[in-house]
Structures are given as C-alpha cells and as structure tokens.
C-alpha cells in the first residue's frame, strides 16, 4: 500500500491565489494558512495538517479505517481547499480513475439548480409534465423536487431497475416506468428518477446533459480528467457512471463546500446549495450500511447533529465524496476499478445474455466468461476490452467500510477538528 506523505504547502502567487504568502513563509504561517480558503488551479496546493490546525494522527486514523476494507483504491482529505493527505492501494496513485456509480446523481442534480438559476426551469416544484410530454398521464403531478428527493412514487420492481443498466437505451426504459403510488409519500431510491434528468435537461436546453455538465460545471472547476458515460444510443447516464480520480472528484465536493462558488464565480446559486443541504428525509434504513441516514435532492446525509453536518455523494459499491461545509472539509474515497475503455456502453457478446435470468446471474455469467477468456471485461494492455461499460468487480466491492461506517464518520468528524 502506498502512503503518500505530503510536505509543507507550496504556494505560487502566479497561480492567481492572492494569499500574500510565499513558500518560505508557510512553515511559520499556520494561523494564516488555517484561515485562508484556497481553490486548486491545475493542481491542488498541499499542506501539512499542522498548517491548517489539524491533528495528523486523526487523519491517519481515518485513512487506516478506510483501508481496513481491501476494496479501497484511494482516499484524500482536504481542508480549506488544500490537500492535507491522501493514500492509495498498491498499484494505484493519484492519477488512477475510479468510477462513481451513483455519485453521478449528485453531479447531474446540480445542473437542475443551474437551469433554475438561468430561468430554464422555473422551480423545483414544477410538475415534470411541464417539460416531458409523456408525463401527461398518471404521472402528471410528480414534481422535479419529488424526483430529486426520491419520492416520485414511480414503480419500483424487485430488481430495483437494474434491468435498465443492461438495456441499450436507458432513457427509453425510464420513459415506460409508470406510477406505483402517490408521489411525496415515501422515500424509494429509484434510478429511473435520476435517468429522467437526462431528458428534462435536454428539453429545457436542447443540449445533452453530459455536455451541459462539462460546460456549466466541470470545466469551470478544473474537473477535466473525466469520462462521462453514455448508453449504447448515446444518451448520458445521469443516474450513474462518471469515471475520474480522487483528486478530481474532490473538486466537485469543494464546489458544494463553498456554497456553489468557485474562486469568485457563482456556478450554482448558494440558495440551491442551501436547499440541497437541508435535511428532508432521515432514519433511512440500509441493507448495507449500519446507520440511519438522510437524503435531500440527490445527496445523502452522513451526520446531522450538534457535532457536524456532513452530506455525501454516494456510489453503490462504496464510493463517497463527503462534504462538511462548516469546517470547509472534503473527504473522498473510491474503490478499486479496472476501466474497460471508452465512454459509451458497448455490450459486445454480452448483449446475447443481457436478458437471461436474474441480474446476479448475468453478472456471475459475465465474470465467468471473462475468467475463461471468452470475453474480455477488464481490457487489454491498452485498457480496451470486448465490452465497454463501467464495472466494479469483487476487489472493488465494499464490505468493512459499510460495517464500520459509523466509526468512519466519527473519525471524519474528529479529523476535521483542531
């Protein structure tokens, strides 16, 4: 396991950070460094824990807990926009991509806020039918807010719409999902809600959601080492699947930690960020995490008490971007990933079995075919395989991180304090 130890911060005035500090000043400027809020340029500025009034032992403990789970690929801790520490599993480093899975929901939900800011969408409380003609049926009263809060009441089968991931046209699948119960009554984590964002955003802008995300948010915050996955028809997957690095994902966390502002530019209105980071649902049970969590506008709530308010973007297999606005802290953790190449799903020979049996059966069969060399999932030496799709294998599937979730959140709260 590689543990990258960071040295004293190095700040270049030419990078556009009007800090008043030069490298020689930093070691003796702990108070100043601790109070200044930085933004990364092409690279993150780095600092010791001491320079930002934190305890390195507490951060090390947080990292140790994270790596008790062998699925962990990398973690990084940021304070005041400074990279205070990071650690990577053997064979990975700060340039290694992970995949987001459902962390992507938080990214695309941010575009709804931008469209509201621009007047393209009037309100979160608008009926979706104002923007999607095919919702002028039993779904006519479902609002955008209910879509984002996972209270739409849309059908939720036993396979939880994982069938959609294996289809060639994810949006066509989502369009056909009908109503199961009255909207606004219960929380039900439904990927179809998030996939519909692709069409809402396209209808109000005429631009594909992945291009919108790049142009309106990612490029502005320097999150450019990124893969935005599409389905086989070229429709952006707005419910999952953004590939990037720990450091790059953390830029998005910092944007929300800073109330939607990036170095003076208000990319997302602070009102929308405030509304996002308002507890809507709590006491949500989980089959994987031993904690009652909360939810709001496509973000999860990790902690909401007098100690700290921490929200997170979360992915299925244990990918997280934790954001503590009050302490200006971002902590990111991703799991082991083996890119299959490309940015558009291509199922290759698997398209012939994508309709067979249960989801678990298909996954197991695909893994078997890969193991005996009939297909190639993980890519050759150039990272290109027969099948191109985000895929997390057994080595990237979390276990201990989920079991220790409460302890890890407690450790994060402690690491964020002087």
Q: What is the DSSP letter of 17?
A: -
> Do residues 225 and 245 touch, judged by C-beta distance below 8 A?
yes
Q: What is the pLDDT of residue 158?
A: 83
CA distances for 53 relative to 25, 103, 247, 417, 418, angstroms: 16, 30, 22, 8, 5
Runs of H (alpha helix) within 258-397: 270-276, 359-371
Over range 23-29, report the average pLDDT.
Answer: 35
Domains in the chain and their CATH numbers? 2-88 (no CATH), 98-338 (3.40.710.10), 348-387 (no CATH)
pLDDT one-digit tens code per residue, 102-145: 999 999 999 999 999 999 999 999 999 999 999 999 999 999 99
Average pLDDT over residues 214-224: 98
pLDDT tens digit string along 265-282?
999 999 999 999 998 877
Which of 156-160, 283-287, 290-294, 395-399: highest mean pLDDT?
A: 395-399
What is the reported pLDDT for 75? 99
3-state class percentages of the chain: helix first, strand second, coil last, to nearest 5: 35, 15, 50
Average pLDDT, the chain: 89
Phi, psi (rounded to 5 degrees) for 344: -125, 130
Residue 230 has pLDDT above 60, yes or no: yes
> Which residues, 6+ apart, have CB-to-CB distance to 259 below 8 Å?
270, 273, 274, 325
The pLDDT of residue 384 is 56
pLDDT of residue 361: 79
The whole model's pTM is what? Answer: 0.90
Angle at 94 between CA 65 and CA 263, to 5 degrees: 100
Partnered with residue 74 across adjacent β-strands are 88, 334
State the residue for tokens 């389905």: 231
* Vertex 105 angle, CA 178 and 266, to 5°: 125
Of residues 394 and 334, the one with the higher pLDDT is: 334
What span, in angstroms and rounded, lies between the C-alpha atoms of 63 and 100?
A: 20
User: What pLDDT score was predicted for residue 19?
Assistant: 35
Reported as a single tens digit per residue, the pLDDT across 72-100 is 999 999 999 999 999 999 999 999 999 99
């Amino acid at each position: 396991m590689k543990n990258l130890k960071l040295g004293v911060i190095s700040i270049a005035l030419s990078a556009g950070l009007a800090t008043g500090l030069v490298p020689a000043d930093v070691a003796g400027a702990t108070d100043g460094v601790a109070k200044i809020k930085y933004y990364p340029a092409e690279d993150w500025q780095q600092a010791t824990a001491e320079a930002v009034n934190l305890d390195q032992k507490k951060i090390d403990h947080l990292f140790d807990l994270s790596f008790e789970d062998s699925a962990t690929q990398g973690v990084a801790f940021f304070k005041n926009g400074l990279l205070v520490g990071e650690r990577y599993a053997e064979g990975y480093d700060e340039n290694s991509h992970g995949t987001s899975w459902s962390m992507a929901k938080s990214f695309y939900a941010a575009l709804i806020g931008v469209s509201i800011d621009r007047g393209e969408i009037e309100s979160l409380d608008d009926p979706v039918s104002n923007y999607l003609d095919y919702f002028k049926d039993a779904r006519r009263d479902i609002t955008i807010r209910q879509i984002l809060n996972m209270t739409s009441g849309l059908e939720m089968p036993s396979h939880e719409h994982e069938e959609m991931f294996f289809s060639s046209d994810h949006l066509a699948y989502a369009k056909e999902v009908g109503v199961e119960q009255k909207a606004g009554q219960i929380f039900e984590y439904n990927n179809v809600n998030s996939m519909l964002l692709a069409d809402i955003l396209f209808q109000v802008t005429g631009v594909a959601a992945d291009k919108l995300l790049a142009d309106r948010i990612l490029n502005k915050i320097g999150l450019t080492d990124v893969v935005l996955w599409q389905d086989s028809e070229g429709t952006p997957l707005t419910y999952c699947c953004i590939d990037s690095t720990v450091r790059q994902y953390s830029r998005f966390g910092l944007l929300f930690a800073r109330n939607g502002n990036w170095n003076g530019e208000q990319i997302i209105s602070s009102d929308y960020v405030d509304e996002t980071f308002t507890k809507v649902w709590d006491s949500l049970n989980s089959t994987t995490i031993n904690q009652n969590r909360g939810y709001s506008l496509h973000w999860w709530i990790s902690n909401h008490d007098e100690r700290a308010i921490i929200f997170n973007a979360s992915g299925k297999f244990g990918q997280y971007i934790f954001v503590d606005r009050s302490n200006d802290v971002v902590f990111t953790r991703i799991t082991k990933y083996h890119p299959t190449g490309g940015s558009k799903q291509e199922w290759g020979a698997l398209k012939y079995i994508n309709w067979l049996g249960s989801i678990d059966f298909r996954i197991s069969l695909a893994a078997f075919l890969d193991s005996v060399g009939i297909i190639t999932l993980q890519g050759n030496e150039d990272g290109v395989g027969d099948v191109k799709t985000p895929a997390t294998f057994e080595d990237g599937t979390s276990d201990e991180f989920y079991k220790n979730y409460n302890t890890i959140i407690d450790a994060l709260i402690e690491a964020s304090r002087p």
